[in-house]
Amino acid sequence: MQAGHKLAAGVKSALNENDAFNQTQAAWRFFNNENCTLDELSQPLLKAAHESSAKECDSFILMLHDWSYLGYNKHTSKEDTYNTFKACIGYDLQSSLAVSDRHGGPLALVAMNLKTKEETLSTYGEKLEDLTHLEELPKRINWLESQNFTKPLVHIVDREGDSSGFFRTFSGDTNWLVRAKGSSNASDGTSKKIKEIAKSLEFTESRTVDYKGTLAKQLIAETEITIIRPAVKGGVEKKGINGKRPPPIKGPPVTARLIVAQVVDNSGKELATWYLLSNMFSISASTLALWYYWRWSIESYFKLMKSAGMQLESWQQTTGIAIARRLLVASMACVCVWQISHAKGPEAGELRRILVRLSGRQMKWKTEYTYNALLAGLWVLLAMQDMLNNYNVDKIKSLLENVFGEKGLE
């Protein structure tokens, strides 16, 4: 499944005996088939997550959670879109991606919601109407925890998860790692802002990292804090009567680790700072900072779906449920690409080089491949395989010689 450019409205046709129109119509009927449920379509992805995590993870499975808005401002045929934010008309995509704790590479999409004007479509069957991100996310996390993975999960969330109500939702058995806002309040004996607590900590050099194409140093500091601030029902995005937020809700204190990861250049100039909160006390602060760094894998997944491979925001399906079904099928193609990228040995390396060559993409210096190049090359390879099933090499050469002469296209 691949759409190579923004004008590719349907599923690209394969080089078999069927006409392209017939293939597009068949895909259209499939994505609009009411008997094809999201739960059924998500099962191969969940199976892939179980199988790949057993091979690619050491002690934990990193579960990345994030949200992305899909913009369809010019798609007037989609009647269930809504004003997601500001001038964006479309849907709200909520995704959970399994990632390896060994190398940070993505493994499989394991849960997904697509919020339309009328309902929230979910792969795990919960009723999710009118829930904010932070009201829905605990339901998704609890469902993931019930899926009997062979290794414990670590749920990683960006700054939107910095909510005392969200932290209080879970028992001590649920592992979480959340990026905090520097302006949030916490207590290290005295209540103050997290960025103020960080100023008193002693940093040690952890590793060298690539920061926007330049090598830099990552410094780590940590301390134990207590989160005592009251919660806002539904998170900051929830509005009550007359557009006002509901009153805050007090709750028990939450003990957590504050890990401050700072990136500096060779002269010591600060380039970036992350404030991380976690309830995992047995894992080193340096490792937790690295796990958060790997959160970028879910951003790469969104990029692969939206602009660098699948052109999601150009799909012409007219309903949210059809878009959701196609999203799951497209995510299966991503799993194939990720498996190729993680494969070991000289033959796997040669396959990646072949796919990059077939893609026609140019790689940056010392970059072996990108996921979007592997995806584009895989489609070309599958098309070639399909063609060779219908035409042998001698027949193809004969056709070229008939048009261009004895030398063909040489």
Task: Report, as an integer, the average pLDDT of 189-211.
Answer: 92
pLDDT at 25 over 80: no
Task: Read off the tokens for 222.
Answer: 């940590």
**Alpha carbons 381 and 172: distance in angstroms, whole number:** 48
Count other Cβ atoms within 10 Å, centred on residue 220: 22
- Find all residues with CB under 8 Å of 12, minimum gap 6, and list them: 1, 2, 3, 4, 379
pLDDT at 326 over 70: yes
Count other Cβ atoms within 10 Å, centred on residue 331: 25
Count other Cβ atoms within 10 Å, centred on residue 222: 22
Which of 371, 328, 316 lies closest to 95 in space, CA to CA?
A: 328
pLDDT at res. 90: 96
Which of 252, 52, 277 lies closest to 175 in space, CA to CA?
A: 277
pLDDT at 21 over 80: no
- How far does Cα 257 stand from its chain's mean position? 25
pLDDT at 244 over 90: no
pLDDT at res. 205: 94
The CA dihedral of 70, 76, 78, 80, to the nearest 10 degrees, is: 80
Task: Report, as an integer, the average pLDDT of 320-337.
Answer: 94
**Alpha carbons 13 and 404: distance in angstroms, whole number:** 27
pLDDT at res. 127: 72
pLDDT at res. 243: 59
- Mean pLDDT for the chain overall: 88
**Alpha carbons 177 and 191: distance in angstroms, whole number:** 21
Count other Cβ atoms within 10 Å, centred on residue 84: 20
| Between residues 172 and 90, the one the model is more confident about | 90
| Between residues 329 and 240, the one the model is more confident about | 329
Task: Report, as an integer, the average pLDDT of 214-238.
Answer: 83
Task: Report, as an integer, the average pLDDT of 67-73.
Answer: 94
**Segment 357-392, tens digit of pLDDT:** 998 888 888 889 999 899 989 988 988 888 888 888
pLDDT at res. 1: 47
pLDDT at res. 194: 96
Per residue, what are the HEC states of the chain? CCCCCCCCCCCCCCCCCCCHHHHHHHHHHHHCCCCCCHHHHHHHHHHHHHHHHHHHCCCCEEEEEEEEEEECCCCCCCCCCEEEECCEEEEEEEEEEEEECCCCCEEEEEEEEEECCCCEEECCCCCCCCCCHHHHHHHHHHHHHCCCCCCCEEEEECHHHCCHHHHHCCCCCCEEEEEECCCCEEECCCEEEHHHHHHCCCCEEEEEEEECCEEEEEEEEEEEEEECCCECCCCCCCCCHHHCCCCCECCCCEEEEEEEEEEECCCCCEEEEEEEEECCCCCCHHHHHHHHHCCHHHHHHHHHHHCCCCCHHHCCCCCHHHHHHHHHHHHHHHHHHHHHHHCCCHHHHHHHHHHHHHHCCCCCCCCCCCHHHHHHHHHHHHHHHHHHHHCCHHHHHHHHHHHHCCCCCC
Task: Report, as an integer, the average pLDDT of 383-406.
Answer: 86
Give the least confident one: 54-58, 208-212, 355-359.
208-212
Task: Report, as an integer, the average pLDDT of 56-66.
Answer: 97
Give the least confident one: 146-160, 316-330, 334-348, 384-398.
384-398
pTM: 0.89
Whose structure tokens read 């140093």? 217
pLDDT at 335 over 60: yes
pLDDT at res. 139: 93
Which of the residue ranges 192-201, 242-251, 302-311 has the most confident prediction, judged by mean pLDDT? 192-201
Count other Cβ atoms within 10 Å, centred on residue 228: 15
CA distances from 301 to 170, 190, 281, 291, 327 (A): 27, 41, 30, 17, 12
pLDDT more than 90, % of the chain? 62
pLDDT at res. 115: 95
Task: Report, as an integer, the average pLDDT of 91-115.
Answer: 96
Task: Report, as an integer, the average pLDDT of 296-325.
Answer: 90
**Alpha carbons 385 and 39: distance in angstroms, whole number:** 31
